[in-house]
């Protein structure tokens, strides 16, 4: 505070200064331009507060509890049956929401990728056609679609024999809707792409190479390999 | 004293203005304390933001203070001068807006503090009142209590007693709470950012 009389500014606006305080403030304002300006800036407020009607309206507004006060008051009052019912309903809503949302959240990582052994086993499966499906591999993208709701894994193998799961992406499920064309980026260096389609009731991401053998056939196994042109170029 | 009068109010050449001249000269014949206060008030007004771009506003305020408020206690000259300056400035702006020009306003045309607000002023006040109501109702805790007591016209010593605090503590609370209120009004007491 540059001028001690500044402490009195708020009292001037509300018209509550004592005679001594008024004398101190106005005398100081005559000597101090900054204090004078502060006093002048407050004039619109002082003018409003000089109106008795406005003062009463402001008092009414202050008599209504603020949001913070309402929350505090609600927390302080004794609990009633209605509070218990509301709290129970809130708990039920939270539990219900958790049941709906939690499984996806926790299962997503588990379903994100098949184990390498399963990928190898998938590449060992003989070609077969259970559920009608199409697979197209282009330079940059791979697209596929199934003609029935099903579950599918799309895997790629590079020149070194390393296998990667292309679909489903981490966090996704293997479920594919009927007639929907899915598209994904083609892994660089992929020389072998394999789409394996399972019936809807079989989640391939929960399988391993042993349980894969127990799955009733026929599945759908479609493989793509680059065609080699007469010049030795692959497409 | 007469030297001051001659400097502020040289004898007008237009005869009707000479009628105004005499009371000014007469009113200046009071004690030295009032004259000094008037001199300082004029200097503060001239240097204030209120009189920026309004060269003769301070002069017009002084004319009114001397001619119409000659009996007002010296201590009240500062708030009265500020109130008159605000009203004159607002009246000039409104007049300039209406006419599309920024003409000078004769001191006798200026509404005095006891004159009721015109429709434009009334609209502006009601807008400011709405903002103030909104802002003050967002205060809580100590600030809310302090504002309530001030609206009930309790003085700082009374508030200190009611809240069982030292008066300097109340001054500090008030300063902080007024700052908060101003902030809620958008950083200006006029209620606009």
B interface mutation test: which of A1, A6, A24, A26 has the most B CBs within 10 A? Answer: A26
Q: Within this chain, do residues A124 and A200 fall inside the same structural domain, yes or no?
A: yes
* A123/A216 same-domain check: yes
Output the DSSP codes for B98-118.
HHTS-----GGGSPPTTSPPP
How would you classify residue A232: left for phi > 0, otherwise alpha for psi between -120 and 50, otherwise beta? Answer: left
Is the residue at A179 inside a domain? yes
B48/A37 CB distance under 8 A: yes
Report if residue A231 sits inside a domain: no
Same domain membership, residue A120 and residue A141: yes
Q: B129–A57: do the CB atoms touch at under 8 Å? A: yes
Check whether residue A145 and residue A203 sit in a common domain: yes
> Strand locations in chain B, DSSP E?
none
Residue of higher predicted confidence among B110 and B136 = B136
- How confident is residue B9, by pLDDT bands cut at 50, 70 and 90? low
- Judgement on whether residues A40 and A11 belong to the same structural domain of the protein: yes
Task: Kindly state whether residues A104 and A123 are assigned to the same domain.
Answer: no
Contacts of A232 (CB under 8 A, 6+ apart): none
pLDDT, chain B, mean: 78
Whether complex ipTM tops 0.85: no
What is the least distance, in Å, from the CA of A50 to any CA of chain B? 10
Contact call for A66 and B139, based on CB within 8 A: yes
Asked if the model's pLDDT at residue B101 lies above 60, the reply is no
φ/ψ of B50, rounded to 5, equals -60, -40
∠ Cα B114 A47 B39 (to 5°): 75
Distance CA B171, CA B96 (A): 41
Q: With respect to residue A68, please indicate whether it lies within any of the assigned structural domains.
A: no
CATH code of the domain in which A190 resides: 2.60.40
Most confident of A96-100, B21-25, B159-163: B159-163
Domains and CATH numbers, chain B: 2-109 (no CATH), 119-184 (1.10.10.10)
pLDDT of residue A152: 92
From the list A206, A126, A123, the residue with the least C-alpha distance to A168 is A206
Domains held by chain A: number: 3
Confirm whether A184 is domain-assigned.
yes
Residue A71 included in any domain: no
Residues of A with CB below 8 A from B85's CB? 40
Q: What range defines the domain where residue A91 resides?
A: 78-110
Three-class secondary structure of residue B71 per DSSP: coil
Residues A198, A183, single domain; the answer is: yes
My answer on whether A174 and A132 are in the same domain is yes
Whether residue A206 is contained in a domain is answered as: yes
Digit-coded pLDDT (tens) for A122-167: 888 888 888 899 999 988 889 999 998 899 999 999 888 888 888 8
Shared domain for A53 and A93, answered yes or no, is no
Q: What is the pTM for the complete model shown?
A: 0.53
- Does one domain contain both A180 and A199? yes
Say whether pLDDT at B2 is over 50: no
The answer to whether residues A25 and A125 belong to one domain is: no
Do A205 and A177 belong together in one domain? yes
- Please give the C-alpha separations between residue A84 and each of A75, A77, A189, in angstroms, as whole numbers: 13, 13, 63
CA atoms lying within 13 Å on the CB side of residue B191? 19
Burial A37-61 (b: 16+ CB within 10 A, else e): bbbbbbbbbbbbbeeeebbebbeeb
Whether the predicted pLDDT of A106 surpasses 50: no
What is the 3-state composition of chain B as percent helix, strand, coil, each rounded to the nearest 5?
70, 0, 30
Q: What is the pLDDT of residues A180-218, one digit of tens each?
A: 888 888 888 888 999 999 998 888 888 887 888 888 878
Is it the case that residue A222 has pLDDT exceeding 60? yes
Q: Residues B51, B53, B59, B62: what is their CA dihedral angle, to the nearest 10 degrees?
A: -20
Contact between residue B62 and residue B42 where contact means Cβ atoms under 8 Å apart: yes
In a domain, A203, yes or no: yes
Residue B102 has pLDDT above 70, yes or no: no
Beta strand A175-176 pairing with A182-185: unpaired
Is the residue at A72 inside a domain?
A: no
């Amino acid at each position: 505070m540059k001028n001690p009389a500044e402490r009195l500014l708020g009292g001037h606006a509300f018209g509550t200064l004592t005679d001594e305080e008024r004398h101190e403030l106005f005398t100081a304002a005559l000597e101090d331009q900054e204090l004078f300006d502060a006093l002048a800036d407050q004039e619109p407020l002082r003018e409003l507060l000089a109106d008795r009607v406005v003062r009463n309206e402001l008092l009414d507004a202050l008599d209504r509890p603020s949001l913070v006060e309402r929350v505090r008051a609600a927390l302080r009052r004794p609990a009633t049956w209605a509070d218990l019912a509301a709290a129970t309903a809130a708990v039920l809503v939270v539990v219900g929401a958790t049941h709906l949302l939690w499984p996806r959240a926790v299962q997503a990582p588990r379903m994100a990728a098949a184990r390498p052994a399963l990928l190898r086993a998938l590449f060992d499966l003989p070609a077969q056609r259970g559920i009608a499906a199409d697979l197209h591999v282009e330079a940059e993208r791979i697209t596929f679609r199934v003609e029935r709701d099903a579950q599918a894994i799309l895997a790629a193998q590079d020149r070194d024999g390393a296998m990667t799961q292309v679909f489903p992406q981490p966090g996704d499920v293997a479920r594919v809707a009927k007639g929907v064309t899915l598209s994904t980026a083609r892994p660089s260096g992929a020389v072998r792409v394999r789409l394996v389609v399972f019936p809807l009731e079989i989640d391939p991401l929960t399988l391993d190479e042993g349980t894969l053998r127990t799955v009733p056939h026929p599945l759908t196994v479609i493989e793509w390999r680059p065609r080699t042109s007469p010049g030795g170029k692959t497409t | 004293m007469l030297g001051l009068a001659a400097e502020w109010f040289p004898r007008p050449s237009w005869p009707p203005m000479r009628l105004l001249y005499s009371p000014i000269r007469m009113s200046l014949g009071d004690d030295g304390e009032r004259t000094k206060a008037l001199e300082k008030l004029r200097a503060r007004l001239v240097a204030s933001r209120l009189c920026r771009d309004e060269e003769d506003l301070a002069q017009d305020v002084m004319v009114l203070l001397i001619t119409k408020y000659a009996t007002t206690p010296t201590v009240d000259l500062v708030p009265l001068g500020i109130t008159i300056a605000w009203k004159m400035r607002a009246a000039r702006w409104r007049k300039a807006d209406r006419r599309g020009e920024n003409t000078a306003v004769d001191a006798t045309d200026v509404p005095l503090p006891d004159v009721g607000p015109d429709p434009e002023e009334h609209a502006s006040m009601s807008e400011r009142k709405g903002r103030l109501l909104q802002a003050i109702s967002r205060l809580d805790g100590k600030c809310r209590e302090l504002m309530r007591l001030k609206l009930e016209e309790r003085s700082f010593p009374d508030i200190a007693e009611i809240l069982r605090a030292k008066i300097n503590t109340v001054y500090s609370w008030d300063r902080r709470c007024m700052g908060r209120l101003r902030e809620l009004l958008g950083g200006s007491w006029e209620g606009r950012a």
